[in-house]
Structure 1
Amino acid sequence: MRWWKVLGLAGLAGVAASGVVIARAERRRRAYTPEEIRARLRERHAQAGGGGAPADGAA
């Protein structure tokens, strides 16, 4: 087998593997309910120290 055939097959295997990883992550992401997403975002915001500052920047 020539080196370019091996390189092509390796590239094809890499594309297929990345497609599987992306599909798995998308399925996992879509499994959350909107309420779960809101709760997670609020939790991250609280951990980031966002406190109670107004969103429009008014002091």
Structure 2
Amino acid sequence: MRWWKVLGFAAFAGVAAGGVLIAKDERRRQAYTPDEIRDRLHARLAAVSDADRDANRDGDDRSAQPLP
């Protein structure tokens, strides 16, 4: 078998494996109900707010520093 055939087969297998991973991720993402997504977003917001409040309490106000 020529090297280009092996390379082509490897590329085809890689694309197929990528498609499987994308489909699996999409199924997992669509499995959440809107209420579950809302609860997860609220939990993330609360965690970020708590971390920001703790940082401001310690005197590390990152929001006041300009971005480079």
TM-score bucket of the superposed structures, by smaller chain: 0.7 to 0.9
**Which structure would you say has the larger Rg?**
2
Q: Structure 1 runs of 4+ off > 6 angstroms?
A: none
| Structure with greater helix share of residues | 2
TM-score in terms of structure 2 length: 0.71
State the identity %.
65
Which runs of 5 or more residues in structure 2 are unaligned? Answer: 53-68
- Inter-partner Cα distance in structure 2 for 1:46 and 1:2: 58
- Report the TM-score, using the length of structure 1 for normalisation: 0.81
How many residue pairs were aligned? 51
In angstroms, what is the RMSD of aligned CA positions?
1.4
